[in-house]
Amino acid sequence: MFKIGDFAKSGKVSVKLLRRYDQIGLLPPAYTDKHTGYRYYTAEQLIRLRRIQAFRELGFTLEQITDLLKADISPTQTRDLFRQKQAEIQQLVETQQARLSRLEARLQQIEREGTLSPYEVMLKHIAPYAIASIREVIAPAQLSDIFGELDEYLSYYGIELSQPHSVLWHGTRSQQGRMDIEVSCVLTRPLPDSQRIAVRTLPEVPIMACVMHMCRPGNPCDACSAIDDWSEEHGFCFAESSIAREVYLPQEGGDNPFALTEMQIPVMRRSTTDALLMLHG
């Protein structure tokens, strides 16, 4: 029989690890001296230790290895555990491959433009949320008036104006410079609507391409172009009937004419699976 130290050397593991295996019942010693507490192992237990090490190299958890080494485990159960681990590893590989593709795109940008873009595009899942809004075809210069009208309504019902406001862009600029836009604010509780104010829920967006930047509200900026370029480079395209959301994030008071804004555009990948992997990568 081996003392625990000798057994650890033969198995090329630490004594601490053997004690851990004993504690969870994965590899208890063949014999423990009641008087000294010394642990002793047999040569046959080296085979079990080797199997444990092999399963660990495949990425199985100690809990999964305990199940795999049970004497009564069926071939079907063993196959299911291996298929589960195979799927986990495959997802990791695809996630890392997506990350590698993003790195390669950045390198190509540096080679092409000599610098990194100031815009960082991120993919998000946007859950549904309630808004109060005013939709109208107006010139961008009128945005502040519409925001003021909406804030009066919110203040009347005691809604904090610190909640994020946004502009939903429903169409392109007309020849007269007017646009179909919807000014909105997030609601934290139900409110009544009116002939002027709509209370509704913005739908879920599975994959939203987002860029945070500073801009003058209502003025053209490069954020949309940055998302468009990024989408083209990464194999994405704008989702059908997509409505861009320009979310104005709360800031401390001041006279700065620029607002901290997040441009959000729904996108989809020609391979939806790849897009979801990038979202979680």
> Domain 121-280 is in which class?
alpha beta
Domain boundaries, the chain: 2-68, 74-116, 121-280
Four-way CATH pick for 2-68: 1.10.1660.10, 1.10.10.10, 2.102.10.10, 3.20.20.60: 1.10.1660.10
Estimate to the nearest angstrom the gap between the alpha carbon of 82 and the chain centroid.
27
The C-alpha atoms of residue 277 and residue 99 are separated, in whole angstroms, by 9
Tens digit of pLDDT per residue, the chain (281 long)? 889 999 999 999 999 999 999 999 999 999 998 888 899 999 999 999 999 999 999 999 999 999 999 888 888 988 999 999 999 999 999 888 878 877 887 787 677 777 767 788 899 999 999 999 999 998 878 888 998 999 999 999 888 777 788 999 887 666 567 888 999 999 988 899 888 999 999 999 999 999 988 877 666 677 888 888 888 888 888 887 778 999 987 666 555 556 788 999 999 987 654 555 555 55
- pLDDT reported for residue 101: 78
End-to-end CA distance of the chain: 49
- pLDDT reported for residue 106: 74
- pLDDT reported for residue 273: 47
Non-local (6+) Cβ contacts of 139 within 8 A are 176, 177, 178, 179
3-state secondary structure of 30: coil
The C-alpha atoms of residue 258 and residue 270 are separated, in whole angstroms, by 36
DSSP sequence for 70-114? -TT--HHHHHHHHHHHHHHHHHHHHHHHHHHHHHHHHHHHHHHHS
pTM: 0.60
In our burial notation (b when 16+ CB lie closer than 10 A, e otherwise), range 126-157 reads beeebbbbbbeebebeebeebbeebeebbeee
- pLDDT reported for residue 90: 92
